[in-house]
Structure 1
Amino acid sequence: MSLLPLDVSPGPLPAPACPALASPAPASATPESPVRSNATVRLIHRAAVLVPLLLIGAWAAVDWPGMRGGATRLASADPWWLLLALFFTCLGWVTAACVRQGAVPDRLSPGLLLASQFADGAANHVLPASVGAHAVTLRFLQNQGVPLARGTASIALYSLVKPLAKIPVLIIFVLAFPEMLELEELVPDNGTLLLITGCVVLGPAAAALLVTVVRPLRRPALALVRTALTDARLVHTRPSRVLALWGGAALAPVFQGCVVASVGSSLGLPLSWAQVVFAFLAASTAVGSVPAPGGIGPVDAALVFAMAALGAPLGVATATVVGYRVLTVWLPLIPGALALSALVQQGVL
C-alpha cells in the first residue's frame, strides 16, 4: 500500500467577512494637524529670522542722531588708529568666546561659538543687563547638546567671573601707576558706596527670600545650585578651562580699554594708554551693573567723567567715547543682526 504525498502548499486565503476592513483607509481620512503644525513651525522659524533685523532696525532708527554724529567725528580721525581699534574690537569677540568655553566643561565648536558671540552682540544692545546675549548663548549651548540646567549654570559662572577678574587687573594698574591713586574724583563718595553695598547685599538676599517663600522654586533652584557647583568644580580641574575662563575675563576689559585708547589717539586725546584703560576699568566697574542695554549710557557718562578727571578736555573725551561706541556697537550692528538671523535659519540658535 503506497502512501500519497500530502499537498501542504497554501491555498487561497479566504475573503474577509467585511471588505471594508481589508481596504486601506483613504488618504482623505488622514488628519491634517501634523501638516498644519509643520506649517506653523516654519512660519514661526521665518519670523524668528526676521525679528533680530526688525529690533536692530528700530534701535538704530531711535539712535540715528548719535550714530550720524559719531560717524562725522570719526571721518576726520587718523584711519590707522581706527584700524587698530577695530583689531582690538575683534579681539574682544575672541575673548568672549574663550570665557564662554571656559565656563562649560563640554567642548564646543570653536567656529560656531565665535559666530554666536559675534551675533549675540546685536541682541545684547537691544535688551538690558546682557539678557539678549545670555539668551543667544543659552540657545547655542542647548543646540550643542548642553542641557538647560548646565547651560544656565555656565551663564551664572560667566556672570560671576567677569566682574571678579577685573579686581586683579585694577590692582596691577594701581601698583604699576601709583599716581592714579591721587585722583580723588574717581573715588566714589559715601552715598555711592552705600548704594553699591546695598545692591550687592540685597540682590542675593532677595533671591534667597524668594526661593524660601515660593515653595515651587525650591527644588529647581537647589538643583541649579548643585549643577553650578558641580560644573564649576569640574571646570577648575582643567587648566585649559581655567585659562580660558579667568584669562579671557581679565583680558576682555583691557581690550575694550585699548579700543577707547586707540580711538582717543586718533582724535588727539592727551592721555596715555594706561590712563585710558584704567579709566575704562574704573568706569565699567563702578556702573557696569546698571541694567542698560550693552552698558550704553551709564558707562559712557562715567568714562567721560573719568577721562576728564585725568586731565582730558571734555569735548575730546566725549568724542572719544562716541567713536568707541561707533566701532563697538553701531558698526557691527547690521552684520551682527545678519549673523544672528543666519544662525537661527541654520538651526544653530
Structure 2
Amino acid sequence: MLPLALVAVLAVRQRTVLAEGFGHLATARWPWLLAAAAATCLTWVAAAVTRQGAVVERLPRCRLLATQFAAGTANHMLPGGLGASAVNLRFMTVCGLPLARSSAALALYLLAESVGRAALLAVLLIAFPGALRLESLLPDGAIGPLLLTVGAAAVVAAVVPACVRRVRAAVGSFLRTALGEARTIHSRPSRALALWGGSLAFPALQAAVLVAVGRALGLPVPLWHMAVAYLAATVAVALIPTPGGIGSVETALIVALVAAGGPAAVATAVVLAFRIITVWLPLLPGALTLGALVRLKVI
C-alpha cells in the first residue's frame, strides 16, 4: 500500500497540472497506445533473454518469462530494483544454481543492463547533440552537491571492503565467482549475445513505449529526442532509489520532455499514460502471477 499512498500524496500536491494532463488523455489515438502496450510486453521478453544470457545453464523458458512479469510487481515494493532482484535470485536457486553463482549472475545482469542503457544514451547524444541539455534534469546548483555525494559514496564503497577483514574476504570471494561466471558466459557466443542483446533491447523497448505514447498524444517532440529524454531521465533517477521509481521517474520524465521542447501539460499527459501502461495496468496481474509462482514453488 505504500506506493499507492505515495502516489496519492504526489497527486494532491500537483493536482492542477495532473488535472490538465488527464484532460489530454481523452485525445489519445488508440493505435499508438496499443503499440505501446505491445512494446511493454516485449520488455519482459527482453528481460528474460538477458537473464538467460547471464547464466550458462538453460533456464525453463515459460517459468523464466513468468518470473520477469511477476518481478515487475515485486519491484514496486522495494527500492533500487531490489524486489526484482530478490524474485530472480530465488528463481535461480530453485532452478538448482548455487547461491554464489546466482548472485554473480544477478550482478552481471545489473551491470549489463546499466551499461546497455548508458551506451544507448551516449550514442543518441552523439547523434542528436541538441536533443536535450542534461543539466536541465537537475535544479540549479544541484550538480555540484550531486557529484560530491556520488564521489563520497564511491570512496566509502572502495574503503570499507579494504578496511574490514570479513567484508574484504566476502567481497573478494564474490568478485572471484562473478569474474569466473563472466568469463564462462563470454566464452559462449549464444549466451554473450543474449546477455548484451537483451540489455540493449530492454531500454530501447522502454523508450519505444514512451515514443508511442508521445505519438498517441501528439507531443511535438521528435521521436529520437523523446528517446534521449527517456534514457537521460532513467539514468538520472537511478540515483534516487524509490520503490519502482514512483514519483522520481514521473518527475524526471516530465522535466526531460519539457527540456526536449514539449509543452508541460502534454508532457504530463504522456508520462501519466506511459506509467499507466508500464506500471499500473500490469500491477494486479503481476501480483497474481507472483502469488501463483510462490504457491507452485517456482520461486
TM-score normalised over the length of structure 2: 0.88
Task: Tell me which residue corresponds to 1:84.
Answer: 35
Q: What letter is aligned with 1:242?
A: A
Aligned mate of 1:271, from 218, 221, 225: 221
Matched, 1:160 2:92: no
Note if contact 2:7-2:247 (Cα within 8 Å) is conserved in structure 1.
no
Note if contact 1:166-1:253 (Cα within 8 Å) is conserved in structure 2.
yes
> Which moved further from structure 2: 90-99 or 286-295?
286-295
Distance apart, 1:152 and its partner CA: 0.9
Provide the rounded CA distance (Å) in 2 between the counterparts of 1:297 and 1:62.
8
Task: Tell me which residue corresponds to 1:38.
Answer: none
Q: What letter is aligned with 1:344?
A: V
Task: Tell me which residue corresponds to 1:140.
Answer: 91
Note if contact 2:211-2:223 (Cα within 8 Å) is conserved in structure 1.
yes
Task: Tell me which residue corresponds to 2:170.
Answer: 220
Note if contact 1:130-1:293 (Cα within 8 Å) is conserved in structure 2.
yes
Higher relative contact order (CA 8 A, sep 6+): 2
Number of residue pairs matched?
A: 292
- With over 3 angstroms needed to count, the CA separation of the structure-2 counterparts of 1:72 and 1:141, relative to structure 1, is farther
Note if contact 1:73-1:323 (Cα within 8 Å) is conserved in structure 2.
no
Distance apart, 1:155 and its partner CA: 1.4
- With over 3 angstroms needed to count, the CA separation of the structure-2 counterparts of 1:192 and 1:106, relative to structure 1, is farther
Structure 2: where are the runs of 5+ without partners?
12-17
Provide the rounded CA distance (Å) in 2 between the counterparts of 1:294 and 1:232.
28
- With over 3 angstroms needed to count, the CA separation of the structure-2 counterparts of 1:150 and 1:205, relative to structure 1, is farther
Task: Tell me which residue corresponds to 2:54.
Answer: 103
Distance apart, 1:188 and its partner CA: 6.0
Note if contact 1:120-1:340 (Cα within 8 Å) is conserved in structure 2.
yes
Task: Tell me which residue corresponds to 1:122.
Answer: 73
Taking the TM superposition and a 5 Å limit, the aligned residue runs for 1:254-265 are: 254-265=204-215
Deviations 1:58-88 (A, max 9, x none): 644664696x978886454221111000011
Task: Tell me which residue corresponds to 1:238.
Answer: 188
Note if contact 1:97-1:114 (Cα within 8 Å) is conserved in structure 2.
yes
Provide the rounded CA distance (Å) in 2 between the counterparts of 1:176 and 1:59.
37
Provide the rounded CA distance (Å) in 2 between the counterparts of 1:136 and 1:239.
27
- With over 3 angstroms needed to count, the CA separation of the structure-2 counterparts of 1:184 and 1:133, relative to structure 1, is closer
Distance apart, 1:192 and its partner CA: 4.3
Deviations 1:254-312 (A, max 9, x none): 21111111112211211121111111011111222311112222222121111112221
Distance apart, 1:90 and its partner CA: 0.6
Provide the rounded CA distance (Å) in 2 between the counterparts of 1:185 and 1:219.
40
Q: What letter is aligned with 2:47?
A: A
Q: What letter is aligned with 1:121?
A: G
Task: Tell me which residue corresponds to 1:12.
Answer: none
Note if contact 1:288-1:299 (Cα within 8 Å) is conserved in structure 2.
no
Q: What letter is aligned with 1:115?
A: A
> Which moved further from structure 2: 325-334 or 165-174?
165-174
Which entry has the higher C-alpha Rg, 1 or 2?
1
Note if contact 1:71-1:326 (Cα within 8 Å) is conserved in structure 2.
no
Deviations 1:90-140 (A, max 9, x none): 111111111111122222111111110000000001111001110000000
Provide the rounded CA distance (Å) in 1 between the counterparts of 2:231 and 2:292.
34
> Which moved further from structure 2: 151-160 or 224-233?
151-160
Provide the rounded CA distance (Å) in 2 between the counterparts of 1:251 and 1:137.
19
Distance apart, 1:207 and its partner CA: 3.1
Q: What letter is aligned with 1:126?
A: M
